[in-house]
Every structure is written in structure tokens, then in C-alpha cells.
Amino acid sequence: MSGHSTYVPRTALGKWFEARLPVVRLLHDTAVSYPTPRNLNALWTFGGILAMMLVVQIVTGIVLAMHYAADSRIAFQSVESIMRDVNWGWLIRYLHANGASMFFIAVYIHIFRGLYYGSYKPPREILWILGVIIYLLMMAAAFMGYVLPWGQMSFWGATVITNFFTALPIVGQPIQTLLIGGFSVDNATLNRFFSLHYLLPFLIAGVVVLHVWALHVVGQNNPLGIDVKSEKDTVPFTPYATSKDVMWIVLFMIFYGWFVFYQPNFLGHPDNYIEANPLSTPAHIVPEWYFLPFYAILRAIDFNIGPIDSKLGGVLAMFGAIAVLAFLPWLDTSKVRSGRFRPIFKVAFWLFGVNALFLGYLGSVKTDDILFHVPGLDYQAVVWAKLSTFYYFAYFLVILPVLGYIEKPKPLPVSINDAILAKSAPSSAH
Amino acid sequence: MTAKMIRWAAAAVAAGIALTATVASAEEKAVEFPLLKPARQEWSFAGFFGHYDQAQLQRGYQVYKDVCSSCHSMKLVKFRNLADEGGPGFTEDAVKVLAATYAIEDGPNDAGEMFERPRLPSDAFPSPFPNDNAARAANGGALPPDLSLIAKARAVHRGFPWFVFDMFWPYQEQGPDYITALLTGYQDPPEGVEVPEGTYYNPHFINGVSLRMPPPLDNDVVEYSDGTPQTKEQYAKDVSAFLMWAAEPHLDARKELGLKVMLYLFVFAGILYFVKRQVWRGTAH
């Protein structure tokens, strides 16, 4: 797909530049002439939406950093002065805080789109793994960002999460001490988290460049999951993809604005409007919503497995839940990419989606809560969490590897163009 | 196949909601606080066109000043805020006079000495105690929380499926609803309920069966000059509204701007829809 460049400099300035740094050619090939499958649906606009969100987060974040003070004695007050006294400070902060949530909503849709249409399969393994790295960096950035307002959930969330590292034998304790800059979460922690929170988005931007580069080498996947065969299967990126991307970006902004203007605190926790207090532990420490499924997996492992105690087991399961994504290209043995042509996969996939939401819910309740007061189903939440965690891993480690051998996929269309013609003229298809 | 998938998913979701609906009605095993969920009140600042009721904020400030401020600080609010747009709407002169009735320690002066001076509009509301320890000592060991953000720092768990519905029909007045319920919720403990010494039974309290704060409001404890009924309930509602303003002083501006932004985005999205259709016309996809 990164075939012959069609860019021809027309102006004198364009020619002068072209001879010295062909950056206009690069942009032209990337965002104008780049051939994109003509059958992409709206789910393929989330890459663009994510790029927009990254820019929004960086811009609002830089402005916030101008007013924020990373000092545990005044951090909380400095955030409040942004909310109260800085011109448009409330808007910028609400955009940034809700922007993090929007970023995760978009990235989850983007990831699930990839899971359903098999976007991780050859030749897109590197593209997929770069995506997993971006996701990991996003999680680190979001976690550290949540610590900065120095509210109760900031402090206790940081305490709980950095404590995970102590589960590792030998190296655990030193890693934790290094991470928080002492023996408990304190000013040193806040300072290094602020520094890293400012750094990580630029690392993300760097990996995004690689992600897009890899995308432009292998080309976009599409809802049919079949390779582009000829020019008839594609349309140029501009104006086709751009007009669609921009429309969906604006629709996404409406969704974003809905939260920023009408329920800016819906996705946050009320305890974070209480200043951090190391002497008072909140009744119920919960992470931000986008970490809840992993939090549920962590808490599901409440038993020892041989030499691995429950704490280490939980931490390994939690990190394993993310790490397993990186191996997905080799775990899924089916040659067919798109879930459209895989009847059994389809069921397993949707179950996985519902299961992921359920895990999120389980992460938000106490482990001994009874979810269903129905005879026979009145188990504690942790029992459900174990079942859900089991399915989460079984999907990747059992179902996807086995399905490739036993599932009989439906016949694939010859080409994207053929499928479109058959769809637009159904009477001519037999 | 998509239709089939959607039907399947919809059935699953419906089943889930039905199942949890039975859960909600079933009795709870563990004791959850608060024992009683707060009732939903009508607020002028709720909804898409919501804005603070200036007269209510003024009354609420009066209740705060006459009752709450004897134990609770409000360190993040400054006197000048009382004259800010979208607030209680005091005149700047009134704010100056009001601020000057409180003293503050300043300094050091040229001689190196600390001195007292009247507060300026740029100074914060005075705190009733010099520090947290003094506040605890005067209140039986309990620290009366700072009220600057209390209306955003308290919210009773809505639970599934309500929080899902709240996403589509915003409910951001949980704080004032809770405060109103708490302030009017004091009652005698039911038989068999032991209340720790020095605490007061209140089934609306978020953190236990009782709290150290004695019932702060009663009928006629604050005198209103505008003829508003001087009832405990009215005081509670007015001070809750005031506390919401203290926690979220730019709410009016936010909702006003939100309306404009949303309108703009809807129109823009509509135009972009037609642009997209025009671009793709004649290209099967």
C-alpha cells in the first residue's frame, strides 16, 4: 500500500522544498492519496478520534501545568484555584479530566473493533503490538494524572496500586520504594508522578507515529477482513476518509461535551474532592472506571497457587490480562480475520464483551456483595469475579487457539469490490 | 447478521436489568450506609438550563453564616466571590463592608511585627478554629469538615442500574440532596439501636448510624427578610444550594456555554453529514 507516491510538486516553493525535505510528499502520501478500503464502517473513525483526544489532552494538560503546583501541601488548593480563579480554568480542567475518560472509551471501542475484525492478524502483528504499548502507556499516564489533584482517591489509589509491586519477590520492595520515592506515598511521589505524567503523553505521541507508520505499510483492515486486491477496492483517504472521520469526530465531541458541560463529575469519585489525608482511609477504595475490569481480576485471585501467594497471583493475573493481548496474533489460529465469517467466534466475542463489562461492574463493588438475590445465584461478587476472570483468559488461551481448528468459516467474498457490488445489487446475486 | 446480534445483545441486557431489578427490591444482607437514601429535591440549578437562584443563595449564605460557620470553615471561598456573576449577587460595597467585620492576622510589617487588620474582599472566609486540632478538641474529637467542596464530596451510591440511566439523564445534584436529607434527617433512634455517647442518630448519615454534629437547624433560628418560610426544611434547602454554589461557583457559566457549544456542534455535525454524503455519492461502499 505504501506503493508509488503520486505527489507532484506544482509550485516553485513546493519544488524548492521537495528537493530539500520531502515533508509535503510525506503528508500527501499519508493523509491525501493513501488508499483506504471503501467498505470501512464508522468503527474505523476511532483512530482519528483518538488522535484528536491525544491532542486535546496535551493542549489542556500544558495549560493546566501552568497553574498547577506539584507540592503535596498546596496541590489540592492549586487545582481548586484553577476551578475557581483561573479564567476558563473550570472548562480546561473538566475537559482534561473527562478527556481522560473519553480517551479510554474511544480506545476501548478501537480495541474491540480490532478484536472483532481480526485486525491483529498477519501482516498487522507489529501494528497491534504497538497499539498494546500505547494502551499500557495510556494507563500509566491516566493513573499518574489521577494522583495529581491530591484528593483522597488520588492518595489511596496511588498507595494501593504502587503496593502491587511489593508482591514481586526480592525486587518488589526496591521497585516500590523507587517508584514512590520513599516508604509511603508523599510529596516525592507527587513530584515524580507529575514529571512522568508530563512525559508519558509525548512517549504516546511517539509510539502513535510508529503505529500510523506501521498502518501505512500494511494498510487498513476492513469489515470483510480480506486483503485489498486492486484499486477498485479502495478510495483515496482525502476526501473520502477525511469527510467521514471529521463527521464522527464532531459527533464524538457532542458526547464529550455532554459530560463536560452537564455532568462533569459523573465519571469521577466524590472522595477526590476531599484533600488527601494519610491518616484517614476511605471506606471503599476504587480506581477510575477504566481500570475496574483489571481491578476485578486482581481481587479475583484470593487463593494461593503453590508457591505463589494470592497477592502475587492477583498482580500476575492483572498484568497478564494486558500482556496476553500482545500475544493475540499468535493465539488466534484462524486464517479468517473478520468475525463476520466466523459463526462460533462471533458468540465467543460478544460473550467476551459482555464479560468485560461485567468485570468492570465487579471491580466497582465490594468483594463480599451479593449481586443476585436469586436462589442458586446468590454468590458473593468474588465468586462471579473468578468465573469472569476465567472466561477472560479462556477466550484468549483456549477458545481462540482451538476455534481456528474446529470452526468452519463462511465463504469469503472474492474481493471488497465484489462484495459491495453484490450488496448494492442484491437481485443480480444468486 | 447485525440485526440478529443486536437482538441477542438486547435480550441479554434486558435480562440483566430484570435480574438486578429483583436484586434492588430484595433485602440487603450487610448494613449499607446511609440507612435511608436521600430524597430527590427540586433545584433551580438542575437540568440543561439550570442556574442558581440568587435569592436562595443569599438566604443560604445567611444560614451558613449564622449557623454552620460557628464550627465549619470554608477556606476556599473568598468574600469577593459573593459578588461574582452567577453567585449570591452581593454588591461590591456590601462585600467590602461584610469582609471588614472580620479581622485577620497579617504581617510582618516594617517593624517585623504581626498585626491585625479588617478582612478585604480578597480574603477568604474566616475559619472558626485556628487549626484542626483545636477544632477537634472543641467538638468531642470529631473534625467538622471544611464546607468549600462538601456538595461535591458527598454522594450516595446510586448502584446499578441507576448509574447507567444517570449517564443519559444527568443527575449532578446528589450532594445538595444528601445535605438536605442529612440536615433534616435527625430523629430519635429506633428501639434497640444503641447510639454512641455524644453522637446523634441520623439514618441519612453516609458513614454510620449517628454523627457528632448535633441537629444544627430548627424552625425560626435564622431570620429571613424576604418573607420566605422560616422552617427547618427551607433552611436546609437554602444552605444546600449555597454549598453547591460554593463548591461549583461557575455552574451557571458552564451550563450557558454548554448550550452554545452543543448547538454549534449539532449544526456542524449536520453540515458535515451532508458533506460526507456528497463526497461518497456515486461511490458504492
For B210-221, how does the pLDDT look when each residue is reduced to its tens digit (9 = 90+)? 999 999 999 999
pLDDT at B160: 82
Is position A269 annotated in a ligand binding site? no
CA distance to partner chain A, nearest, from residue B263 (Å): 9
Q: Is the pLDDT of residue A264 over 70?
A: yes
ipTM for the predicted complex: 0.93
> Rounded mean pLDDT of B62-72?
97
pLDDT value at residue A344? 97
Structural domain contains residue A17: no
Task: Give the pLDDT of residue B14.
Answer: 56
Question: What residue segments make up the domains of chain B, in order of their start?
Answer: 34-77+124-249, 260-285
**Domain assignment present for A16:** no
Cis peptide before A123 (omega within 30 of 0): yes
* Residue A105: domain span: 29-424
Say what the pLDDT of residue B3 is: 57
| Residue B12 scores a pLDDT above 90 | no
What average pLDDT does chain A have?
Answer: 95
Cβ contact, residue pair A250, B149, below 8 Å: no
Peptide bond into B249 cis (omega under 30): no
State the SS3 of B231-258. Answer: CHHHHHHHHHHHHHHHHCCCHHHHHHHH
Q: Which residue of chain B has the CA closest to A39?
A: B285
Distance from CA of A193 to the nearest CA of B (A): 24
Q: What pLDDT digit, counting tens, does each position of B128-152 carry?
A: 999 999 999 999 999 999 999 999 9
Residue A113 has a pLDDT of: 98
Which grid coordinates are listed for B124? 477568604
Q: Which of A94, A369, A372 sits opposite B19 (nearest CB)?
A: A372
pLDDT for position B24: 45
Give residue A233's pLDDT. 95
Instruction: Mutate one of B163, B276, B281 to test the A interface: name it (highest A CB count within 10 A).
Output: B276
Q: In the predicted model, is pLDDT for residue B15 greater than 60?
A: no
Concatenating the DSSP letter of every residue in B27-88 gives PPSS--SSSSPPPPPP-TT-STT----HHHHHHHHHHHHHTGGGT---TT-BGGGGGSTTTT
CA distances from A340 to A4, A156, A429 (A): 32, 44, 19
Query: What is the reported pLDDT for B157?
Result: 86
Helix, strand or coil for residue A315?
helix
Question: Are A313 and A305 contacting, i.e. CB atoms less than 8 angstroms apart?
Answer: yes
pLDDT for B22: 44
- A246 CA: distance to closest CA in chain B (Å): 7
CA nearest to A92 within chain B: B254
The most distant pair of C-alpha atoms in chain B lies apart, rounded to whole Å, by 85
Residue A291 has what DSSP assignment?
A: G
Q: Is the pLDDT of residue A1 over 70?
A: no
Q: Kindly indicate whether the domain formed by B34-77+124-249 is annotated with CATH number 1.20.58.1910.
A: no
* pLDDT single digits (tens) B16-64: 554 444 444 444 446 788 999 999 999 999 999 999 999 999 999 999 9
Nearest CA in chain A to B275: A243
A271 with B153: Cβ contact below 8 A = yes
Task: Convert A366-385 to b/e letters by CB count within 10 Å (16 or more is b).
Answer: eeebbbbbeeeeeebbbbbb
Angle between helix A75-84 and A46-67 (nearest 10): 110
Question: Does the pLDDT of residue A39 top 90, yes or no?
Answer: yes
Q: What is the pLDDT of residue A137?
A: 98
Q: How far is CA B101 from CA A12, A409, B98, B119, B128, in A?
A: 73, 82, 6, 7, 14
pLDDT, tens digit, 9 for 90 and up, residues A139-161 = 999 999 999 999 999 999 999 99
Tell me the β-bridge partners of B118. Answer: B103
Q: Label the pairing between strands B103-106 and B115-118.
A: antiparallel
Identify whether A114 is part of a domain.
Answer: yes
Residue A342 belongs to domain with CATH number: 1.20.810.10
In chain B, what residues touch A373 (CB-CB under 8 Å)?
22-23, 26-27
Inter-chain touch B283–A340, beta carbons under 8 Å: no
Domain count, chain A: 1
pLDDT for res A424: 76
Task: Flag whether A43 is in a domain.
Answer: yes
pLDDT interval class at A290 (50, 70, 90): very high
> Contacts of residue B27 in chain A, CB cutoff 8 Å?
373
Q: What pLDDT sits at residue B284? A: 83
Whole-number Å distance between alpha carbons of A176 and A196: 15
Nearest residue of A to residue B26, measured between CA atoms: A373
Q: Is A5 part of a structural domain of the chain?
A: no
Alpha helices in A219-308 (DSSP H): 242-257, 292-300
Mean pLDDT to the nearest integer, B269-285: 94
Interchain CB distance below 8 Å, B167 and A270: no
Once rounded to an integer, what is the mean pLDDT over residues B182-189? 96
B125 Cβ contact partners less than 8 Å away, ≥ 6 residues apart = B69, B73, B74, B75, B77, B78, B79
A159 domain residue, yes or no: yes
Q: Count CB pairs under 8 A between chains A and B.
A: 125
C-alpha–C-alpha distance, residues B23 and A265, integer Å:
27
A89 SS3 class: helix
Give the tens place of pLDDT for each residue, A187-246. 999 999 999 999 999 999 999 999 999 999 999 999 999 999 999 999 999 999 999 999
Closest approach of B223 to chain A, Cα-based (Å) = 30
